[in-house]
Amino acid sequence: MSKPIPQGMHSVTPHLICAGAANAIEFYKKAFGAVEKGRLPAPDGRIMHAAIGIGDSTVMLVDEMPEWGALGPKALKGSPVVSPDEMQKAMRQMKPTQKASA
């Protein structure tokens, strides 16, 4: 029987899009002791997929690829993360049964 979560992964795995994924990997190695698990370069040298381990977690990274709609915080001029105020507003709008599983 297949597992919904691959061995060594958790139920949520961050996938980062960044301008300069190779530099980001080196930064995470120095800052957090990350271990590079794998890297798949594109023909033009950009990183199409990479995985690093930080502690017991995996973080996936790719270079920005605007032609595929893959934009990072620099291109977006900010982080594509929901603000706390927006999250609280969404939580207030949820039905009680949705809140229990959220």
* Largest Cα span, the chain: 50
Count of CB atoms situated within 10 Å of the CB of 32 = 13
What are the start-end ranges of the E strands in 1-102? 15-18, 35-41, 47-54, 57-63
Q: What is the SS3 assignment for 49?
A: strand
Q: Which two tokens stand for residue 27?
A: 């930064």
The residues spanned by each domain of the chain are 15-101
- pTM beyond 0.75: the answer is no
- Rounded to whole angstroms, the Cα distance separating 72 from 75 reads 6
Q: Which CATH number fits domain 15-101: 3.40.50.2000, 2.60.40.10, 3.30.720.100, 3.40.50.1980?
A: 3.30.720.100
Q: What is the SS3 assignment for 15?
A: strand
The pLDDT tens digits of the residues spanning 16-42 come to 999 999 999 999 999 999 999 999 999
